[in-house]
Structure 1
Amino acid sequence: MVITRRAFKISRSIIAWLPNEVLFFIIAYAAHPELLSLCLTSRLMREISTRFLYRGVHLNTKKTLKRFLRVDRWCTSPPALSHVQKFFVKQDLKLAEAHVTQITRVVLLMTSLKHLLLYLAEPIEFHQLLQDGVFPNLVTFRCIVQPNTASAFMGFLHRHPTINNLTFASEESIQFPRRADSTYLKIYEGPNWGLSLFDVSGLTSVSLMWYSDGVDIDCCLSQLTEAKDLECIVILTSTTTPTEAEILAGISRHAPHVKVLRFRSLVAKQVGLSLEQAVEIQGHLHKFSALSTIELPAVDYNTEFRLDHDMQALKLWQDACKTISSATLNSIIWQSVNGEWYCANSGIKRLITMMKEGVLGPTFVLVPAFEF
């Protein structure tokens, strides 16, 4: 038997005794330069490494965008594009129409795409992509929807019933021609009025962007009654109305089985939570059967708040809902251990101790230089 020099080297290498499945997982942790090196070693290593080398395309900066647009070989090399599983454009990246056209042309060739993230700060229209895109394995999709792309957006969703994580935004209420096929939808993040477009029975997490204060709370949240497996609700507001207590009342009627409840605001609150507001919230908490975490919007720096009121509020809430074990008030996170509330932050702990000893008063101000 004649053994060539190459065969002799391979027989002494890791490839000869390590199963391909193990090699696959090892290479998955390799860095980009290492993957490039592995592609030059052997056909097997090249085939495995290529999957990871091209599995994600991230356009984070103008530099990466220019580099991506310069590589014309993308469009003449479908085998490389077929390995891409995630395409991501950073939210604040500015795109011209020419960029959108070229990006669309390339993305349409990514037949193995699983995650398509086009959620940009500026309303950029990927109309052609929504109209022609077909990705059989797509599970995550994020985009901005305009009135003139609403029909294409709905058509895109109908062609991709595999989507289980959907995020979309629209500055105005849009009339869609039909409901979407959302059999596998698990995570929804979008306008409060958008829930009516989907089958919400399988949802486990919902993030609602509360754009307008004129929306009927019960009408919007009543659909969550169908979501029996719903665990987390996030409410994002941009105005002072409706209040957290008003929305909480609606959630307690239609989704009392939720475990995590977070309220967030696009603008930090200028006034800390008052004891009266805490009592109003308490009036709805007794309806929740499994609520473990409640989070209220962050407060702006230099906002006065009273630690004694916060501690009273936590006690009231836990008396109303025994399952609560974590809460965020006035940008401070509290944890409950054996019925007693503690702050994990050493700086706040010292303040609480000094307040109880009478060294400090109960009123504090959160400032940027404050070290927790």
Structure 2
Amino acid sequence: MVLTRRAVRAARSLITRLPVELLDIIIRYLSFEQTAAMCQISRLFNALATPILYRSVTFNTDEGLRAFLNTMNRPLGASLVPHIQHFALPRAETLYMPKLVADITASLLPLTNLRTLHLATADEVSFITLLRTAQFPHLTRFATSVQSETSEAVYDFLQRHHRNLQHLDILHAGPVEIRSPIHLPHLRSLYTTDLMLSHLNLEEAPLVELRIYNIDAEPARLHPNSIDPSTARRVRNVTLLCRYISVDTFDDVAKGFPLIDKLEVQAIDLPRLITADEIIRIGTHLAKLTELSTLNLDISAADKMSNEGDATILEWYGACKTLSSVTFGGKTWLREKDEWSALCEDV
């Protein structure tokens, strides 16, 4: 059925008579492209859709970043400032020349309603001016990489925002100089390197999720004093990302985080192959994790045992009776009562 022009105008008139609050809810369910199209319909829909369109500023391409910076440099940019709450640099390979870094900094500094700031990039980009001067009163999530030349600026930034931060991703490349441990009393999730933990004061933090990233060739290990014991007992999810997985890593986790509910060990390069003896040793360490329910391991059995996957799961379940989900060797097993079954095979 083809609507007449009068019918189209009547439909649009009906929509505009809906309460603004209802229109706002409807627009929130639209895709980015649909929301952008809404801005072209009328002044009313432009006023309703624009705040939603710019609430979260992320980029799929470098061109998107440059288009955003051009918009912020125009008179329209000032009206967008109150709406922007989340900002993340593009994951694409971007050449961050000094002029581009300066433009990004100038666009970010006025964003006083910012809640999420993701500055981690593929290259080591120094946003020193932003880190030294920015003040975001509502910032709860922050991601960056720190180098020796930016460590002081990162320290100052975290000191200014430490009371609101709940999620922190902070990786370091090379030696880092931190004057004193940074107090983060409200931190709930942390993604960092083991060595960086010593620069963070987490004694009061309600830390629930911890992700440790290790890029060294040596086996990933957790230092005994890397985190306060009382804080470690509050952690429920632990993820280790490393180049080389050692069985001793499981011992470190069992000693440091005995009450975790979920453990993931991911290989940065190729999955690790373990022997039958190592499977038994892992089970010995799992026995110390009294509340572990989910175990995701990016490893496979090297020995050609009969029903090797099922045998391994039963071995670990015998050691840790709280297990209910295990991913191992490209498959996932789920437990219903005391029966295990393979759910799927990863592609």
Under TM normalisation by the shorter chain, which class is it? 0.7 to 0.9
| 8 Å Cα contact 1:58/1:89 also seen in 2 | yes
Provide the residue aligned with 1:187 in structure 2: 189
| 8 Å Cα contact 1:202/1:228 also seen in 2 | no
2: CA distance, partners of 1:286 / 1:34:
52
Aligned residues: 334
Give 1:32 shift: 4.1
1: CA distance, partners of 2:341 / 2:220:
37
2: CA distance, partners of 1:275 / 1:335:
22
Q: Per the alignment, in what secondary structure is the counterpart of residue 169 of structure 1?
A: strand
Q: TM-score, normalised by structure 2?
A: 0.85
| 8 Å Cα contact 1:273/1:329 also seen in 2 | no
Query: Aligned residues: percent identity?
Result: 23
1: CA distance, partners of 2:292 / 2:68:
46
Q: Deviations over 1:99-127 (max 9, x none)?
A: 11111111112221111112111111111
Q: Deviations over 1:309-355 (max 9, x none)?
A: 3322211111111110111212222222232222122xx6xxxxxxx
Q: Against the structure 1 CA distance between its residues 47 and 228, is the aligned structure 2 distance closer, same or farther, given a 3 Å change threshold?
A: farther
* Residue segments in structure 2 that go unaligned for 5+ positions in a row: 1-9
Amino acid corresponding to residue 60 of structure 1 in structure 2:
N
Amino acid corresponding to residue 341 of structure 1 in structure 2:
W
Provide the residue aligned with 2:339 in structure 1: 340
| 8 Å Cα contact 2:241/2:265 also seen in 1 | yes
Q: Per the alignment, in what secondary structure is the counterpart of residue 247 of structure 1?
A: helix
Amino acid corresponding to residue 78 of structure 2 in structure 1:
P
Q: Per the alignment, in what secondary structure is the counterpart of residue 294 of structure 1?
A: strand
Q: Please state if 1:278 is matched with 2:279.
A: yes
Provide the residue aligned with 1:49 in structure 2: 49
| 8 Å Cα contact 2:195/2:226 also seen in 1 | no
| 8 Å Cα contact 1:224/1:254 also seen in 2 | yes
Q: Against the structure 1 CA distance between its residues 19 and 227, is the aligned structure 2 distance closer, same or farther, given a 3 Å change threshold?
A: farther
Q: Deviations over 1:261-287 (max 9, x none)?
A: 011111113x52221111001111222
Provide the residue aligned with 2:105 in structure 1: 104
Amino acid corresponding to residue 212 of structure 2 in structure 1:
L
Give 1:198 shift: 2.8
Q: TM-score, normalised by structure 1?
A: 0.80
1: CA distance, partners of 2:273 / 2:244:
16
Provide the residue aligned with 1:132 in structure 2: 133
- The aligned runs of 1:86-125 (5 Å cut-off) are 86-94=86-94, 95-125=96-126
- The aligned runs of 1:15-94 (5 Å cut-off) are 15-16=16-17, 18-32=18-32, 34-36=34-36, 38-39=38-39, 45-71=45-71, 73-74=73-74, 77-94=77-94
- The aligned runs of 1:135-284 (5 Å cut-off) are 135-160=136-161, 161-196=163-198, 197-199=200-202, 201-212=205-216, 213=218, 217-240=222-245, 243=246, 245-269=247-271, 272-284=273-285
1: CA distance, partners of 2:221 / 2:298:
21
| 8 Å Cα contact 2:112/2:137 also seen in 1 | yes
